[in-house]
Amino acid sequence: MNKKAIGLYAATSLVIANMVGTGVFTSLGFQVIDIHSVFAVLCLWVIGGLLALCGAFAYGELGAAMPRSGGEYRYLSDIYHPFVGFLSGWVSILVGFSAPIALAAMALGKYFTKAFPVVDPTSGAIGVVTLITLVHATSLHVGVKFQNVFTTLKVILILFFIAAGFMSSNHEFISILPQAGSWKDIFSPAFAVSLIYVSYAYSGWNASAYIAGEMENPQRNLPRSLFVGTLIVTCLYVLLNFVFLYTVPMQQLAGQVEVGFLSANGIFGAFGGKLMAMVISLLLVSTISSMILAGPRVTQAMGEDLKLLGILSRKTARGVPANAIIVQSLVTIILVLTGSFERVLTYVGFTLNLFTFLTVLGLFVFRYKSPNAKRPYKTWGYPFTPALFLLLNLWIMYNLIISKPTESCFGFLTLLLGALVYLFGKNRNTKLETQ
């Protein structure tokens, strides 16, 4: 089959599927513990969407100029140094995709258990990861078809859920206008930490950058897929969170993971809530599938460059990096068995933000180092949109280090371990080349 199996629709579908998943159905409960203004909560989701769009503009230029699979691994290796690219790829192998898949699988298990209490949530999570891994390890063509069907279904069901929420007679009397204390909430450290949860919910806006090498006309389709996918998801997120707040008292949402189930209960009643819990669990299948499709392309690219990881670059007869897919899913299953939901969420949020920050900063470096490079697409609003992305991300990471030092330290330890692996692998490469 044609290697360039991924068109604009499939690439946009991948972006939407990567983004719409665990975060939007689980993170609101953590946000309203310290933020009590509806206006401030909705501002979180608008700012998160603006941040993602600014990042998408920057990635569009880098991806069109360097249209190879691998995402940040490729960009950072070319712009800065292979060591920086390796650390990015190392984080992708360990947590960049595995942890979000684990979070989505854990959330799926929790939602599915609401509909079928006899099913153990952990067993259900592991079973779904295993099944989808087999689908994507078989064929790229089958995996893309599977992805498109579940993402289309996801968007349709979310629109139905939003419409039902707006028409519900059982609702809260809330205002989206600023109230007393709203601005205080917005400028509080709690708001910055909540942006970590929101930025995690928006993570995936760069998904199509990882499969650029298998995309039709990546110079045109990559920037379009990033922008269109991110814009659609921003609209869905703001509307969904309004519906959650509109249909469930804020104090009842505080600290809860299954906010979608609570909202469905308020809209449809107990039986309808169980039915929607099953539907939401089906929506998360698309999220898990998209990351199992995209993540191994980073691992494969690293295996091609570093002999120590060479086994991960091998493809099947159908061109699928099966070894990379299997390794990623094994790490995912370990996280499902050992990870606490909130800690994994904060940890992965920090590490992902760090490398998207370096990549967008790399846009300035790339323009300086390669002013004459061919750029089929240029970042809209440059230099203001990437600068806004950098400033907001810097603010988020600073507040996260101050308020969540344990999870931040785990992020730095992950980087240290990656540095040791890189140095060992580089020394081994040198020895093999001199023999």
> What is the reported pLDDT for 342?
60
Return the CA Rg of the chain.
21
Q: Domain limits at 26?
A: 8-426
Average pLDDT over all residues of the chain: 82
Of the chain, the percentage scoring pLDDT greater than 90 comes to: 14
Is 1 inside a domain boundary? Answer: no
Helix (H, G, I), strand (E, B) or coil at 6: strand
Q: How many Å separate Cα 223 from the centre of its chain?
A: 17
Q: Is the pLDDT of residue 305 over 60?
A: yes
- For residue 431, being part of any structural domain is answered with no
Q: Is residue 28 a part of any domain in this protein?
A: yes
The Cα 76–Cα 68 span in angstroms is 13
| Domain contains 432 | no
What is the predicted pLDDT for the residue at 46? 92
Is 188 contained in some domain? yes
Average pLDDT over residues 196-208: 79
Assign 341 a pLDDT band (cuts: 50, 70, 90). Answer: low
Provide the CATH number for the domain around residue 157. Answer: 1.20.1740.10
Query: Is a pLDDT exceeding 70 seen at residue 10?
Result: yes
User: pLDDT: is 359 or 290 the higher one?
Assistant: 359
pLDDT for residue 307: 73
Question: Between the CA of residue 381 and those of 53, 63, 367, what are the distances in Å?
Answer: 11, 17, 15
Is residue 339 pLDDT above 70, yes or no?
A: no
| Domain-embedded: residue 267 | yes
Quick one: pLDDT at residue 176?
A: 81
Q: Check residue 429 and give its pLDDT.
A: 56
> CA geometry: angle at 54 spanning 53 and 55, to 5°?
90
Q: What is the pLDDT of residue 427?
A: 65
Q: Which residue has the tokens 């692998």?
A: 425
pLDDT tier for residue 346 given thresholds of 50, 70 and 90 = low
Please report whether residue 2 resides in a domain: no
> Averaged over 126-154, what is the pLDDT?
82
Provide the whole-model pTM.
Answer: 0.75
CB contact at 8 A, 142 and 320: no
For residue 1, the model assigns a pLDDT of: 36
- Sign, CA torsion 65/230/148/114: positive
Is 111 domain-assigned?
yes
Number of domains present in the structure of the chain: 1
**What mean pLDDT is predicted for residues 101-120?**
82
Q: What is residue 2's predicted lDDT score, i.e. its pLDDT?
A: 44
Q: What is the mean pLDDT of residues 69-85?
A: 85
pLDDT the model gives residue 238 = 93
